[in-house]
Structure 1
């Protein structure tokens, strides 16, 4: 059974992915939330803050076949109200947290001789959206990281791809979906006339970790109801 590390499994897409993959892989799960996985001998969960805690405190498998970094942010403000700290915080959680994680686990990923890394971007990194300057800047950096890393480590058979969702029904997006009116309005902005489901994103993560995606690397995959590519 392959070894998978999931970082940020407390809520949303990370939690749905943990549920989907549980029992299919040996999973090391990290989040700031505490879980009881005593019912699943193939899952070890650690209460862990990626930005503050030391990875050396975690017992990782010697070989890691898949790594997914879920932590992200939605910090939407007019540009003139965004502070430098806003930009720094979004960059830290979306980019530096991913870099810290990958650099620490790179030796374990190399040992598998066939590993897959999955990161998360956003539709706002592809199309200009008002009030998204900070998060779009950070996620654009994630996309650059994905492509550069994928090129550098392709010879070692380490793949790296990113998923770029549009608005998805998670706790992170609660402020944007707090009323039925807001939900309807958000759905109408998408060609498929609905918002995303975290279970759909989890399925794509599962695919990117599977042999079925073994010839995919350096890709930014838009799962966005058609928003980034269709105009109706």
Structure 2
């Protein structure tokens, strides 16, 4: 039985993980509102789910704030929100331009801050749950990840601080830290046989993540039955950051 009292705003709903999250939440019986940059994918998903949608720049704090207000008005309040906005920029620091750095921070960290601010303004009287997206690279060193690792580490600091600030209001903040997930954004990696095989070998379970793997974790953190959980970072990475296997073979 779904929870028809739940109402969620999915920021970055036009992306692979955002869309999977919106579908999972809607399938649970929750009411869902969608926000992302203008795109056919956003409009198609809104039509599929019969959900209100808002075309915004997720890195503009004022536009995110307005989306929270509009979503709360159309859904009769909000019980949760998730920020699925992100980018992938893999370069060593000496090849990362000032624009690369600024864009990476703006897309990954500024959008997350905008969601924290919007949620705090809209939901602090009613409480609820907010989920941000970090990365396994924020806690474990991977070559050529300097900019994105710094941005995603900032998301972790933002998560834990917001959790402390807004706990008295019943407003929870948690984050998910994925490994490599097969999305449109990461296609440059998994679409090539050699790089896909190398990436799969780094994950102990022997495969890359799928958008629904992350959507499942997001939905779990959003759920009101997990209301004793805040300030946590849930690593969902197929063992990438914690497990090393000797060989890809089944034990006898």
Q: Above 0.5 in TM-score? A: yes
Asked whether the equivalents of residues 178 and 237 of structure 2 are also in contact (C-alpha less than 8 Å), the reply is yes
Output the CA distance in 2 between the equivalents of 1:133 and 1:146. 20
Are 1:96 and 2:110 counterparts?
Answer: yes
Query: In the alignment, is the contact (CA less than 8 A) between 2:65 and 2:117 conserved in 1?
Result: no
CA–CA distance in structure 2, aligned partners of residues 38 and 70 of structure 1: 20
Shift of residue 227, structure 1, vs aligned partner = 1.4
Pairing partner for 1:160 from 159, 165, 173: 173
SS of aligned partner of 1:27: strand
SS at match of 2:90: coil
How many equivalent residue pairs?
Answer: 230
TM-score normalized by the length of structure 2: 0.86
Indicate how the Cα distance of structure 1 residues 56 and 126 shifts in structure 2: closer, same or farther if over 3 A, else same: closer
Q: Is contact 2:11–2:85 with CA below 8 Å preserved after alignment?
A: yes
Question: Structure 1 residues 77 and 56 mapped into 2: Cα distance closer, same or farther (>3 Å)?
Answer: closer
C-alpha contact (below 8 Å) 1:72/1:93 kept by paired residues:
yes
Cα distance in structure 1, aligned partners of 2:155 and 2:125: 24
State the 1:179 CA deviation: 1.7
Match of 2:8 in 1: 4
The answer to whether 1:149 aligns with 2:162 is yes
Note closer, same or farther for the CA distance 1:117–1:181 as it changes in structure 2 (3 Å cut): same
TM-score by length of 1: 0.93
Aligned match of 1:76 in 87, 90, 93? 90
Secondary structure of the residue that 1:6 maps to in structure 2?
Answer: strand
Q: Which of 67, 72, 76 is residue 61 of structure 1 equivalent to?
A: 72
**Coordinate RMSD, CA, aligned:** 1.7
Q: Secondary structure at the match of 1:172?
A: coil
Map 1:8-23 onto structure 2 (within 5 A). 8-23=12-27
Q: 1:12, CA displacement in angstroms?
A: 1.0
Which runs of 5 or more structure 1 residues have no equivalent in the other structure? none
Query: 2:104, 2:147 within 8 Å by CA — same for their partners in 1?
Result: yes
Equivalent residue in structure 2 for 1:30, among 32, 35, 48: 35
Following TM superposition, by how much is the alpha carbon of 1:5 offset from its aligned partner in structure 2, in angstroms? 0.6
Distance in 2 of aligned mates of 1:220 and 1:105:
18
**Structure 2 unaligned blocks of 5 or more:** 246-252
Q: 2:56 aligns with which of 5, 24, 48?
A: 48
CA, structure 1 residues 56+182, in 2 after alignment: closer, same or farther (shift >3 Å)? Answer: closer
